[in-house]
Structure 1
């Protein structure tokens, strides 16, 4: 999945493909959040705080650490 670099104290890059938001954290961990939408991804991309967005908008989705 292609990811877009972001400026954040916690998140290095984010990507979206077919209902999955992929988040690479600054520590190198990568998580997939399932059942999401491209609209939600675009909101994430434009959010002023990526960490806050994850906490309030992605925590309710099923997720898995993939790396």
Structure 2
């Protein structure tokens, strides 16, 4: 999945596939996670957030099912 870089101290890049509703996040640690059943509005909110990391913690982590890719 193609990801776009974001300005964050915790997250390096974010990708989204609207056909499958999968959000992919690369963290500064190098880990990559996919989050499932994420609506397009949540992806948009993440990349447009003033603080990407805070938005992730409040609205994505522990809300959507996930799996570690690497």
TM-score by length of 2: 0.90
Q: Give yes or no for the alignment of 1:15 onto 2:39.
A: no
Q: CA deviation at 1:37?
A: 1.3
The answer for the alignment partner of 2:68 in structure 1 is 65
The answer for unaligned runs of 5 or more in structure 1 is none
The 5 Å alignment of 1:1-67 reads: 1-17=1-17, 18-59=20-61, 60-67=63-70
Q: CA deviation at 1:49?
A: 1.0
Q: Secondary structure at the match of 1:54?
A: helix
Q: Secondary structure at the match of 1:43?
A: helix
Q: Secondary structure at the match of 2:29?
A: coil
Q: CA deviation at 1:38?
A: 1.3
List, as ranges, runs of 4+ consecutive aligned residues in structure 1 with deviation greater than 2 Å: none
TM-score by length of 1: 0.94
The answer for unaligned runs of 5 or more in structure 2 is none
Tell me the number of residue pairs that the alignment of Structure 1 and Structure 2 aligns: 67
